[in-house]
Amino acid sequence: MASAASLKNFMRFVRQPSLRRLSSWGKVPMGPADPILGLSEEFQKDTFSKKVNVGVGAYRGDDGKPHVLNSVRTAEKRVLEANMNHEYAPIVGVQSYVNKSLEFVYGKENPAVNRTAAVQALSGTGALRVCFEFLSRFAGDQLGNKIYMPQPTWGNHIPIANDSGLDVEFYKYYDKDAMWMDFAGMMADVKKAPDGSAFLLHACAHNPTGIDPTPEEWKELSHVMKAKKHIPVFDSAYQGFASGDSEVDAFAIRHFVAEGHNIALCQSYAKKLWPLRRTYWNLQHCLWR
């Protein structure tokens, strides 16, 4: 396995056009710069003493450094005290972890817990990749190989979907003039899309705007999407981190399930449980009847 230093030197090498031509990998194009991470790099260069980095979804203290929650420290301690044997996990992940994840997002008494297929993946990007490839492989014809995403959305959503075989179309979400959510525009696009389309929805703390539908708007959206037989694909990266209450932040997901939707869900813990960055992806049974 390459060390961090050797990988850094390799990237420095491939960024030099004169040297890239000599490399067997010289024809590999550089990927586009990530606007959020690029902003973070500019932040690091800025010498202003009172600067604040709000470009990355991390919980930080007054010193500007990531703040590790007491719950995370407790979890770390319990993991060490458990003296685990580090055996290989099954292909679908650690079942006890997956089960707890299902209970966390749906609620312990929710019958959906017992009829959901779920697998563990590597953080949010891994869960999204598994989900999008599943959609492309098993529902591509139905979806026209398309998935609808909010405008704007998290930058990684688009290339992950494209590399999974899905084309991305956008639905209205943010009104720059009003500096608030364009719910009417969003609803119009949901109604206009072909029946049975896949829609990516941010469960809470929409990235990058931070603006979410109200509970009543979620209910209205659920009603229309059900009538249109659309497939809701939830990306939930901030449950418990948006409002401070994990039950409140699960509202949209739980309401859609209660209304009879069979959703796909990518649930990430990378933002709030730093040492437990693994993610699970689940698909409610009989997504396509």
Q: b or e along 106-121 (b: 16 or more beta carbons within 10 Å of the residue's beta carbon)? A: bbeebebbeebebbbb
CA torsion through residues 31, 150, 257, 210, sign = positive
Instruction: Report phi then psi at 231, rounded to 5.
Output: -105, 110
d(CA 279, CA 289): 27
Q: What is the CA radius of gyration of the chain?
A: 21
The neighbouring-strand residues paired with 284 are 116
d(CA 185, CA 117): 33
Assigned token pair, 168 = 């991305």
DSSP 139-165: HHHHHTTEEEEEES--TTHHHHHHHTT
Query: Which residues form the catalytic set?
Result: 154, 235, 271
